[in-house]
Amino acid sequence: MPHRQLRKIGIDSVGIMLERSDFLERDGILDDEGELPENTTAFTERLGEQTYLVRVPEDGHVPEVHECSSIRRVAGQLLLEADYSGSRSPRIE
């Protein structure tokens, strides 16, 4: 996973610089000219220490955390791991 540089923006904001826009292109966030549409927003939620979730609304809807396919995949992996090891609760490192 590539590292992204955090940059301070203004007094109380931080941004992440993406070197490649193909992630945004693939997800349909960029317009037909490959530009970021005006007024594009993103929601950032702190999940835990040094762990953040960034979501871009689709048609004005920001999915709940449990609706995010990536989060569901990780949760499923933890459950399978716990079931495989015979543990009652998933091991989280």
Q: Are residues 84 and 45 in the same domain?
A: yes
Number of folded domains in the chain?
2
Q: Are residues 75 and 34 in the same domain?
A: no
Residues 27, 8: Cα–Cα separation, whole Å: 26
- Residue 8: what pLDDT? 73
- Residue 85: what pLDDT? 67
- Residue 87: what pLDDT? 61
- Residue 21: what pLDDT? 72
% of the chain surpassing 90 pLDDT: 1
C-alpha distances out from residue 56 to 2, 23, 28, 90, Å: 20, 12, 11, 29
Q: Are residues 76 and 49 in the same domain?
A: yes
Domain extent at residue 11: 1-39
- Residue 14: what pLDDT? 75
Give per-residue pLDDT as tens, 14-53: 777 666 677 788 888 888 888 888 888 888 888 888 888 8
Average pLDDT, the chain: 79
Q: Residue with structure tokens 């990536």?
A: 70
Residues in the chain: 93
